[in-house]
Chains A and B, each alone.
Chain A
Amino acid sequence: AQKVTQAQTEISVVEKEDVTLDCVYETRDTTYYLFWYKQPPSGELVFLIRRNSFDEQNEISGRYSWNFQKSTSSFNFTITASQVVDSAVYFCALGVVDYKLSFGAGTTVTVRA
């Protein structure tokens, strides 16, 4: 069975602070995909990134960066210089077979001006 754990329920920061969201996953499969999604108050899940299990390179996209470490089964997400528009719920997800996703419980990020 697959499992995704996001231990942080809520994080509150002041604008321009960096914020790191933790994600730990469990699977016995050697081939899998990891994802991060953003869910703003409107409710729609917005895709941020997908990584496969064979690519451990860290990735940076603007103010967003991701750290994938298979040794610790973690796929952490950092927002640098946070902005109020970053306020949302962020979900980490794991995909193994048939394109189904297993989501974590989410981390609510609040960025205060």
Chain B
Amino acid sequence: DTGVSQDPRHKITKRGQNVTFRCDPISEHNRLYWYRQTLGQGPEFLTYFQNEAQLEKSRLLSDRFSAERPKGSFSTLEIQRTEQGDSAMYLCASSPTGDSGYGYTFGSGTRLTVV
């Protein structure tokens, strides 16, 4: 297993366009998380999945954001009608459940620039 993979690594888009990011977690991890990191700040929680179920969404996740994890494997994060304020690093992480639930493995992130 090569860890958590995110694609693309970088994305530049024009304001108003839609973008979609993909995350492939570690195969045996049931939990998958999305975090957003703006310049000079720590990562902020966006949402997480237990298998295919999306269990919680942060209020940071406006209605322009949608995340899915079909079949409990990879996940996608879509941003519709992008705004300049969406420019950030989007980090995906996965972990097992149970006592090891905090055993996060982070991906390298997708850096989004909205121009």
- The number of chain B residues with a CB under 8 A from chain A is 26
Is B95 part of the contact surface with A, judged by Cβ < 8 Å? yes
A35 at the interface (CB under 8 A from B): yes
Chain A: interface residue total (CB-CB under 8 A): 22
Partner of A105, one of B35, B41, B102: B41
Name A50's closest neighbour in chain B (CB-CB): B102
With a 10 A CB-CB cut-off, give which of A4, A44, A99 has the most chain B CB atoms.
A99
How many angstroms from the CA of A102 to the CA of B105 in the assembled complex? 16
Most chain A CB within a 10 A radius of its CB, from B48, B91, B102: B102
Separation of A104 and B40 alpha carbons in the complex (Å): 10
* Cβ-based interface call for A84 (8 A): no
> Are the CB atoms of B106 and A103 closer together than 8 Å?
no
Residues of chain B in range 1-16 having any CB-CB distance to chain A below 8 Å: none
**From B41, B45, B108, contact of A106 by CB (8 A):** B41
Q: Given the interface contacts A99-B102, A101-B45, does A45 sit within 8 Å of B91 by beta carbon?
A: yes
**Known contacts A44-B108, A45-B91: A99-B41 contact under CB 8 Å:** no
Q: How far is the CB of B105 from chain A (nearest CB, A)?
A: 8
- Tell me, yes or no, whether A91 is within 8 Å of chain B by CB: yes
> Is B43 an interface residue when CB atoms closer than 8 A count as contact?
yes
